[in-house]
Structure 1
């Protein structure tokens, strides 16, 4: 009797590779009979991860009510069914992330989706007196209005001008030198090596010239992440290490969590972008820190308080909670009609005598409270009825970044834009674009020569 020798099946390996493959996998892959194609597996993975994210996000807010009642984070078991129904309905909006291709708008959009998701949960338990049904509907519609242009407008813009390879290398070196100079100049105004728990004691005392403020914000949010991403893509790891060292040098100068945690954050994005398809990496970038906070809170609450305070409260809960405060305040006060924008303030009558963040601190005693585009350009500027219109135009602004970066390796866009999604969660669009340099990043993407990363592979669009 003849025995046939059978080769080990690679079906399982192929399926796992399709789900977890890095951003260059199998562009021309043809599915074997009986095996779902790569896109189908990636969509299943995306849908599963988003579902887990929604559960983890809800748990984060529920657990946060245990320690943050003073910040008006509440939970009532009697209202839990309403919260679950609301979150489940809004989960349908997340399907756009399953079918859309990756772009800068995808990255920003998912983080903004998290802000609205959290607010809809909080809205079910809010102690404030305003029209909660209208506010919830406005928030959900605003999310859709923002996501449609931010995720779906991705057509490239013709490059009228691009840098040469030599000019590109000089640009990266110049960014590092510029960052070092700004850090050195800033240190002459402030330099304190303190624990992260003490930063708020001293941060309000910081005084920098306006030009240094703008240069510092743009360097931390855009220039150093862009340089780091380019060096990683080119496998110039000494340059990447220099960008990380320069980024953390801004912590004793600015006393911000962004400067302190940016090296670890960028490294995490680089690892996620290397291992996973970029859309999956996007979901994991927010899911993994949140899930770790939930697990630590449940298993070792006393030991996990500091971590949960930074990740659970500051990173996840606070941006959504700000919408609750803004709704309460502007239900009783006149709208701003964008007068908070310095370029419009001379031409628009303004009821605010101080910046909105300071006004919120004066009313609620929780410190200066900046908020996302949904709260500032939406609730505060035009009110609940017209907030979706404002959100739509904000989505169009983000889509400019999609078009400017089209043709670049997706993991480069993912890493170089990696700091901005957090900033979108916490400050107005105009502040992100100008003060934090998002418009500058769009320009850098636009003039970046696509052939500079010719060895980098692309992901097959969804």
Structure 2
């Protein structure tokens, strides 16, 4: 292994303040505030941006901005990766709540989400000790595992293509996606393969120097787009390449921060250039809509919507988890994503802070739920302990994006997070130690 993180597997056990991280975090906070102010226009009826409220919004978010210090001193882990993405979502909500148009108890929601963030980050960032007993595969068996994932994914894509294969533009995917009906086992296999198995294989091949097989992984991921008609499937290969590039340029913590800061800043730059008639407005609107509005702002808006909806509707008590519907009564026959169509934003899911928190137990008990979810992420930290930060970033690179928009319970099972935790556990650390100059 080479690059900025070549030695971090052995030196990341200590806490140290990195001034460069502090500067990046300040830039990220500023970029988010500006970006969200422009993105608010896409959520009419939910938030309404008013320049007169900006000073109050700054004062309201300032205490939470200080919390970002933990990312300047915390050591890297999977929880650091996920925690920073959730921090961005919650910061966005605290900024947007000042422009809220929806009626609910805003003060209690602010206290709840602030406490939930701290409750989640505490275990997710700081429980990183390795498990005592570890079952490593041999180097040969690990290579066979990566090859088996590649073969399995190729077969899966071929089988899934019999059920659906359409080459359509992004504007048309919603027209056809509701017609897709995969058998349940195939649907689960696609989710686990695209979000966990293939990124894991890509990380193994890329860091192991097998460029050709890493490229095949990206092609297979791209082929899942006409099968699933999912934006994530279309952009996932580019996202992993972007993360791989950042990993070669900077260390893992900077990679995590820049992975959101750079796309957000590019969106703002294209918007400003388009306003100055120096960039095509159509391209700027498309990019800003996908990245700044959908990827960055939407998870924050989901917290706004869930707070409003469940202030006047019964809580789910976790009955949105399908297996629990077998043993407890559920006040809802439809998935929460369908219920959210009432807000004219289409069907959308939300993160654990909205689903396992606000929707399941309400704002006052949400911090307890967030703490439990943080402990689950901490399990991922412990099972991946000893792996190079680059490997964790690449193999787990899709999951933070999913967790912003999908409940943790669904991510663990349907989207393969649990499988990835197991793969981290059996990955032989020796293959990285041999190539590290500091081993």
The TM-score range, normalised by the shorter chain, is over 0.9
Superposed displacement of residue 212, structure 1:
0.8
**Mapping of residues 39-78 of structure 1, within 5 Å:** 43-66=18-41, 68-70=42-44, 72-78=46-52
Which of 279, 298, 303 is the equivalent residue of 1:318?
Answer: 298
**Mapping of residues 193-272 of structure 1, within 5 Å:** 193-272=167-246
In terms of mean alpha carbon deviation, does 198-207 or 441-450 score higher?
A: 198-207
Which of 295, 300, 307 is the equivalent residue of 1:327?
Answer: 307
Unaligned stretches of 5+ in structure 1? 1-20, 30-37
| Correspondence for 2:328 | 348
How far apart in 2 are the matches of 1:226 and 1:284? 21
Q: Relative to 1, partners in 2 of residues 1:71 and 1:430: Cα closer, same or farther, differing over 3 Å?
A: farther
| Correspondence for 1:131 | 105
Question: What SS does the aligned partner of 2:347 have?
Answer: coil
Superposed displacement of residue 342, structure 1:
1.3
TM-score, scaled relative to structure 1: 0.90
How far apart in 1 are the matches of 2:437 and 2:300? 34
Question: What SS does the aligned partner of 1:344 have?
Answer: helix
How far apart in 1 are the matches of 2:386 and 2:242? 24
Larger-gyration structure (1/2): 1
Unaligned stretches of 5+ in structure 2? 276-280
Q: Relative to 1, partners in 2 of residues 1:233 and 1:421: Cα closer, same or farther, differing over 3 Å?
A: same
Superposed displacement of residue 364, structure 1:
2.1
Q: Deviations over 1:313-367 (max 9, x none)?
A: 1100111101111011000001011011112112222111111111112x22321
1:79 aligns with 2:78: no
Which of 15, 22, 38 is the equivalent residue of 2:4?
Answer: 22
Count of residues paired in the alignment: 429
1:111 aligns with 2:85: yes
Superposed displacement of residue 65, structure 1:
2.5
How far apart in 2 are the matches of 1:409 and 1:393? 26
Superposed displacement of residue 455, structure 1:
3.7
1:383 aligns with 2:362: yes
RMSD value, Cα: 1.9
How far apart in 2 are the matches of 1:333 and 1:459? 57
Q: Which has the higher contact order (CA 8 A, sep 6+)?
A: 2
1:394 aligns with 2:369: no
| Correspondence for 2:278 | none
| Correspondence for 2:425 | 446
| Correspondence for 2:287 | 307
1:286 aligns with 2:268: no
TM-score, scaled relative to structure 2: 0.94
How far apart in 2 are the matches of 1:372 and 1:312? 17
| Correspondence for 1:32 | none
Question: What SS does the aligned partner of 1:65 have?
Answer: helix
1:405 aligns with 2:384: yes
8 Å contact 1:222–1:417 — kept in the other structure?
A: yes
8 Å contact 2:8–2:389 — kept in the other structure?
A: no
8 Å contact 1:71–1:366 — kept in the other structure?
A: no
